[in-house]
Amino acid sequence: MTVTNERRVLVHSNKESLGASVAARFITKIIDVIEEQDYASVVVSGGSVSTLVLAAINESPARDSVNWSKVSFWWADERWVEADHADRNDVQAGIDLLDHIGVDPANVHRFGAVGDFEDVEAAAAAYREELLAHAQGDDLSPRFDITLLGVGPDGHIASLFPDREQIRATDSTVLTIDDSPKPPPIRLTLSLPAINNSQRVWMILAGAEKASSLGLALAGAGADQVPVAGVKGRRRTVFFVDGDAAAEVPEKLIASTY
């Protein structure tokens, strides 16, 4: 198999068509991956675009064509709050999708929560061990089949923010954040190398406030200033965007097909 390791930008007319398109492509690709290797691993994150896509998957007429018992779910980041707290990314993912499909609970790999561990560092250590237990070869984390990421107006991904030491970390798969610029301040996050160990990274951006970060990332900005610029899947990196977010994308970088 030829590994292209390419970046593509796919533009959709509006936010709703963006969500539906990503959902349809996700279902098709997951079915293909399961047929090829009998399982699939997916990373999800939080935020409005995660809700948009996961809800669109749940609402798709093709949802039940996926054998969800063969799909494992991981999280790109999580807020350090109680397990049932509304701020948890995994709580929202359950509402949007996971509570409605036949996913095996053993295949849902949640970050630890307040009350489960002595502190956030212990929770990070436990997730590192869980990633390692499911890694391939000498890797420290799984080669996730699809990682779905939102992107903040400042270009942050997961809980990797601009001009913070965590975006530069290369020696760990899971990092802790104690001063997130967005509340709550304490978080856990996959590192950039763990994210980039994904076979495919799909980044979903909607809204004019995302245009500048996307334009900078595609123009060659550094990951320290624009974290999304450092994302590069093993096989493919795709930006799924609406027309507003694509305002500063050069025409030559826009793909007509996936």
- Predicted confidence at residue 5, as pLDDT, reads 57
Residue-wise burial string across 44-65, b where 16 or more C-beta atoms lie within 10 A, e elsewhere: bbbbebbbbbbbbbbebeebee
How far, in Å, are 76, 95, 225 from residue 230 at the CA level? 15, 30, 10
The model scores a pTM over 0.85: yes
pLDDT at 1: 38
Q: What is the pLDDT of residue 104?
A: 94
Q: Rounded to an integer, what distance in angstroms lies between the CA atom of residue 125 and that of residue 118?
A: 11
- What pLDDT is attached to residue 253? 66
CATH topology of domain 6-248: Rossmann fold (3.40.50)
Cβ burial, residue 159 (10 Å; 0-12/13-18/19+)? buried
Angle (nearest 5°) at CA 174 between 94 and 75: 15
pLDDT at 168: 95
- Report pLDDT for 6: 67
Alpha-carbon distance of 133 to 91, in angstroms, equals: 24
Digit-by-digit pLDDT tens for the chain (258 residues) are 344 456 789 999 999 999 999 999 999 999 999 999 999 999 999 988 899 999 999 999 999 999 999 999 999 999 999 999 999 999 999 999 999 998 999 999 999 999 999 999 999 999 999 999 999 999 999 999 999 999 999 999 999 999 999 999 999 999 999 999 989 999 999 999 999 999 999 999 999 999 999 999 988 889 999 999 999 999 999 999 999 998 888 676 676 555
What's the Cα-to-Cα distance from 32 to each of 25, 94, 145, 198, 235, rounded to whole Å?
11, 24, 11, 16, 15
Residue 129: CB partners within 8 Å, gap ≥ 6? none
- Which pairs with CB-CB distance under 8 Å and at least 24 residues apart come from 122-126? 123/80, 123/188, 124/174, 124/175, 124/176, 124/188, 125/174
What pLDDT is recorded for position 66? 98
